Structure 1
């Protein structure tokens, strides 16, 4: 896969998607958002990819925000279309992606960058990371799911404070808040993400995909996540992975999931 603003590498069933606009601190423009959609769409059908790591180029920034120069003169309708299309094609798409997505947050994750990291299934961060939603300082609000996902992750009060003050928090605070799972050095960030991806690969990807859907349904209005869990739990009994996993356990050997 070749892109103007992304690097995509696949090795040992792990795809690394790297946003590559270092001179712009990897800021999201329309082209990058479209390329992210195309990359994830391709990885969805790629049989050699089981886990995705999402990160930014360099050591300064994961994604420092959206490219403000592109929408500074937008109308109300254009603003709504910008948020709706972005959420549908990238942020919600990644959140509901059936393969695990780990965000490796290297440096600044601000505005759309933090929203992109929050759309991943979980996050690890370098110790120089700074995270925040500064949109209110520009006279706008987060438009790529930030007002919804941040309270889910850190709680309403902390999310309100971060959005209202437009301030940044460091990696240690983000871990204390539950916004990131692990903090490490910039040098060890991708090795840690790959180590976690390796642990995921030991398990049934079919079951993990079902679990992602069940967990996500807990956060959808009008959807009973418990019902999804019951349905997907029952469906698991009809899979080859269930047969292999239970037989491996009973025979005291490592499962060989296909």
Structure 2
């Protein structure tokens, strides 16, 4: 499918999905969210894609936030619908089969920070900025920020960021556990692809079921989550890749996974 506000390319087993509204610093409006939802569906059904890298167009912004020009005149019902659209899209991203790496190349504020948090891994350029500055606009985070941020960095730090609207740099984001790694801007894409290919080299079903256990188990009590983990472990034991992986280990050689 051809997109207006997104770019989608595939390099081997890696899909690169780019928010492409550079003049608006890749801000998220309803059309972009709808396209993103469609792209997630497209990628989720593409078995040749093992890992997705999500980034923003240009060098200034990953996603600078939700589109304030669209939100400015919202009434209560319109605001709720916009929040629900963003939440549903980001949850779909979170639950898609393939791991998603956010390559944060600049501003990730408001909806941009929320989008990054819906990805499985976050790596950032050294010029990246993160924050939930909604309170400075008289609103709250609406695309999951009040829920994912405490889960990622703890309630105290999340409360400070959400209550003050303060913006932090990439090194501080790394310190508090919001991002996994920080790289120079000119190395970010290369490092994102390197990490994506590293993950893609593992058994696909095992990686995807690990993601499922993390995402679904996080909303269960420990006993239920471990029961789910046992189920996905059992599923991996029915795959050819499991037989190959164990045999290769015993034979002291590198496994050759075929996704079966």
Q: Whole-Å Cα distance in 2 between the matches of residues 211 and 47 of structure 1? A: 17
Please say if residues 249 and 255 of structure 2, whose CA atoms lie closer than 8 Å, have aligned partners that are also in contact: yes
Q: Whole-Å Cα distance in 1 between the matches of residues 86 and 158 of structure 2? A: 21
RMSD of aligned Cα (Å): 1.2
Aligned to 1:109: 108
* Count of matched residue positions in the alignment of Structure 1 and Structure 2: 257
1:38-187 residue pairs with structure 2 within 5 A? Answer: 38-88=38-88, 90-187=89-186
Q: Whole-Å Cα distance in 2 between the matches of residues 102 and 111 of structure 1? A: 18
1:79-119 Cα shifts (integer Å, max 9, x gaps): 2222122211x200111111010000000000000000000
Q: Whole-Å Cα distance in 2 between the matches of residues 160 and 168 of structure 1? A: 13
TM-score by length of 2: 0.96
Aligned to 1:250: 250
Q: Whole-Å Cα distance in 2 between the matches of residues 6 and 120 of structure 1? A: 17
Aligned to 2:10: 10
Q: Whole-Å Cα distance in 2 between the matches of residues 58 and 120 of structure 1? A: 20
TM-score by length of 1: 0.96
Q: Whole-Å Cα distance in 2 between the matches of residues 107 and 85 of structure 1? A: 24
Q: Which runs of 5+ in 2 are unaligned?
A: none
Q: Give 1:221 deviation, angstroms.
A: 5.1
Runs of 4+ with >2 A deviation:
221-224
Q: Whole-Å Cα distance in 1 between the matches of residues 40 and 142 of structure 2? A: 21
Deviates more, 1:118-127 or 1:75-84: 75-84
Q: Which runs of 5+ in 1 are unaligned?
A: none
Deviates more, 1:165-174 or 1:65-74: 65-74
Q: Whole-Å Cα distance in 1 between the matches of residues 220 and 194 of structure 2? A: 34
Q: Give 1:222 deviation, angstroms.
A: 6.1
SS in 2 for 1:180: coil
Q: Whole-Å Cα distance in 1 between the matches of residues 76 and 97 of structure 2? A: 33
Deviates more, 1:31-40 or 1:243-252: 243-252
